[in-house]
Structure 1
Amino acid sequence: MRGSARIRVADLLTDPLLDGAVTLAGHGGLERPVTDVSRYTATGREPGAAGQGTAGPAAGGEADAAGEPEPPGVEGHLLVCDDTQVTPPHRLDALVRGAQEAGAAALLVAAGRTRPLLSGMRLADRLGIPLLWLERAEPATLLFELGVRIRAHELTRARTVLALVRQLTAKKTGRDILAAAERILAVPLSLVTSDGTPILGEPVTVPPGLRLDLPVPQSAAHLLVHPVHDQEGNRAAAWLAITLERADADRTETLGVALAVAEPFVRSWLTGQRARAGRDAVFQTGLLAEIMAARDTVSRDVVENALSLGWRLQDWHAGIHLTMENSRAREDRDSVLGQHRDGLARHGVHTVAVVDRGDGWALWTSGELEPRPEEARQLLRALRVVITGLPRSWGLVAGIGRARLGPGGLAETLTEARDAASLARSHAFRPAVEHADELGVARLLATWQRSEVTRAFAETALAPLRDREHAHLLDTLRTFLESGGSAVATAQTLGVHRNTVGARVRQIRERLGVDLDDPSQRLALQMACRALDAHS
């Protein structure tokens, strides 16, 4: 039985068997189908793993007893020869010409240190037959392995599964599991969340056609994904993903089976990690509760336990309290909190820990020196930018406490941060982030915006924008003012282009007849917008 024509020369070049092979010439023939593999000798053709026939690929073949020329019998084959057949180098010309005339798919030279002459490569280019070069290969072994790959797909798949099981059984960490699978499969492998964020490996771009809300294996162009199920088995805790440059149908199927084999090993590791994280989370929550209760009278045991976690209680601390209003976001808390911390880190803000406090999560920064006032502003700005860049549907709300010293200071700044988050949650505008330094001003503004005088002013001043046709302009004005007049931040929050914001602001100026560059008018309009929200 002949091999499947689904496999092409370019497909074989992505297979682990030909790892290190280079295409020296004949790139135009890489899409030729490969039906079998044969050894190309000086006198004729030897069959590969299951090949038949003995005719050589030279033009015209050999004559049989009846005097009729025998067919070459290598049409569509990958012909393999060793370095002795290209020594001296000029012999390659005859090999290339003979392979092309016999209808071979490609010529593979399993060579030592021999290098081909330019004439041989030019001939391969002119004839359009791929000339592949692979060092350190043993031709006999290569023939057998390629024969299995081309002609016996089920055997290749079974050997891959066996190799995976043998290797993965001894691996204890997720990184080791993925590294071992990558070595066997010769493809990049990642463990990602449903939006492609990496847990291990590289990030993955999830094409629109994939439904990662459905915990079933899926594929799209250049991507295979397989769910890593949670303990209940009814949803995906993560996804194993393979990014492919190209692969034939048989190799794609083998890789899909390989992901299914690797999944239980990854699931076991991930379950263990989450169990340990859960125990650590309970420990951290209890420890922080002791610090919040004892403040500056914390015991030596508490200090030692804090140091074991990397918490330097004697430092200066600035607390953050973060909440999520979306229940689905809370289910994926590890991913959400991880992206939030990573975003802060990209802005130079490195948090010590994330501790569950029941109504939200406590984060804080620590340092030996008292933070300068501009550092507090940097933290507020970074937090607003990060929350603006994350999905609005998550409903992230944050509060920031003042910088405080020592364990008692940590308790105070986290208390202030929680109060600031409560005030931020009451706002209709986003990003909802407040700083404890602004609480007094915020409460004063809240009193003003609830007054009947402010309400009357708001209805009059904003009347040109309050009809349904111009509701988008009112929303833009509100966001623009709350973003400090930043067109970039406004565009990010609204999910529109910056030029769209500019055009809308010009319309707002014309309809309201106001100068938005005047701080007094901006403040008055901001209070008017808040007053409308407070009475709606």
Structure 2
Amino acid sequence: MSTLEGYETAGQAICADSPRLALPVCRWHTFGVYLRKHLRHLAGPELAGAASGVRLVEDLRRVAAQPRGSVLVLTEAASREAGGYRLDVALRDAAAAGAAGLVLTGDRPAEVGRTAAALAERGGVALLAAGGDLAELVVALDRALAGDAADALERAAEAAEGVLRAGGSPERMAAEAGAALGVGVRAEDGVFTAEPLTGHLGRAAGIVLRLAELAAAAGQPDELPWRSRARLLTELLVAPEKQAQELVARARALGLPVDDWHVVLRLEPALGEGPERYALLETVASRAARAAREIVGPSWNAALAGDALIVVRSRPRDEGRAGLREAVRDAALLLERVRPAGAELRCGVSTAHPGVLGLRTCASEARTALRRSPLPLATYDLAGLDRMLEEWYSSDAAQQAVRELLQPILDLGGERAARLLAILRAYLDHHGSPARAAAELHMHRNAVSKNVRRIESLLHADLADPQQRLALQLACRAARI
């Protein structure tokens, strides 16, 4: 046995079966901050049970000889060998030895085969993968199992940040603190309690709970910073593109996460134009500030922009489809929370985009989602040309180009302009067929042909020219956004 194979940690004597420290610190979801960021669960149980120590293994043939309850960390060389049937054999040996977990290191695929997954589940072995420095991983595992001071301090720091992020909501403070500490935390009448803990983690938890009580006693944060952010958010959404870019530094200084990935919710009353609509929006906006903090925390910001309430959800990274599903769920909760009795509200939800220009694209997508769907909660989830047009048309240059191209028609104003644009759009979408355009518009084909000639005259355009035809078709589609 090599020196690496024989490595054991001081945490070997500290586990869930030990009378000296009967803590849940051996569960995967309570591992330290480093591990929760770098360990990926591949297969097997989420909880490893009684983990008694860490063993670093260079040779897969030594897996079966490791002590019961060990977390087995394979070196990169051993992990490379553990592919296909060899991983199946290693999992069988780990289960026979009573190992709590098997950690593959180095570059690993995101998924494992069905046989390996079944063996891990049946054998009660948590199969995980980790990248980064091997020595750092082993030390982090050691600290998590032993519950040492460094790990407890790291947890306390993350818990404190979570408490401050919770926006004054006791329920969110308890959730944030519990997630970082790895224990259940409850809030009742301003008092925070947690599952019994001892040692370094117990002392860290006591500090965090006291901090949460002080933060809860202070109440909701001052509304002035929120109002300043709301005003600036409105400017970012409605100002010309160049001016919006110039506002980025100010937004960062006020705590607006403009550089993150955004999803926009657009809340609109079902009422038409008029004083009642704007009075309802004011009521909804005042409720949304607190509701957003309580439901999802201060990573959401809200502002009145035009005739709608814009609520922005920001995250440091793109969370993909799962993040969008979560945003839609939160949107449904927010819509229910802020809707006044007897009032009808609709909400459009965008996809995710990064940065200040992405924020403006999100706002456009949320508006388009409402226009295209009659549902109270509408999501923008289109791919292809419409998605590309949405991103393109969110820039000032694109909007100016479309206006210049269609300006002679737009100058007609009102119903006349809308009617000619609809005829042009249908005619171009049906490859220049007056009959098909007439069928879509419920018009006579001769009326379509007559109006197409009028449009060509107004725009000084030749619709037989492929380039002009494409430019006008894109402009007509963009004008609907």
Normalized against structure 2, the TM-score is what? 0.29
When normalised by structure 1's length, the TM-score is: 0.26
- Bigger share in helix: 2
Larger CA Rg, structure 1 vs 2: 1
